[in-house]
Amino acid sequence: MLTHFVAALGVLGPLTVVPGPDMAVVTRRALVAGPGDALRTVGGIARGLLVWGRPGRGRLTAALAASPAAYLAVRLLDAGYLVFLGAQALCQNHPTAAAKAEPEAPSKVGSP
């Protein structure tokens, strides 16, 4: 079991520096806090991928492979969640939302 874990870390570690979001996070941490923090970030990403991949080894993969309807439901839920995240990001960056978020300066009544 330990050999599988070490082998997975050996593969997942280099994958975090392949162009993509993980590489951006690692690069940012390296520039901001140094190579030690970047290495800890790589370890955290690898651990996260290991945790994420664990359900795939179990019954979830078999259940989704056996039931096309369940697989379609999971895909639709995932797509809906991505649409929700995209809409939320658009609403947060909309100019009117930013203007509403800024507090108005109190007006001075009665000053010349």
The 3 state secondary structure assigned to the chain is CHHHHHHHHHHHHHHCCCCCHHHHHHHHHHHHHCHHHHHHHHHHHHHHHHHHHHHHHCHHHHHHHHCHHHHHHHHHHHHHHHHHHHHHHHHHCCHHHHHHHCCCCCCCCCCC
pLDDT tens per residue, range 48-62? 877 877 766 667 778
Compute the distance between CA of residue 98 and CA of residue 5 in angstroms, rounded to an integer: 46
Can you give the pLDDT at residue 37?
93
Per-residue pLDDT of the chain (112 residues; tens, 9 = 90+): 678 778 877 887 777 667 788 888 888 899 999 999 999 998 898 888 778 777 666 677 788 888 899 889 989 998 999 899 889 888 887 666 555 555 665 656 555 5
Its pTM stands at 0.45
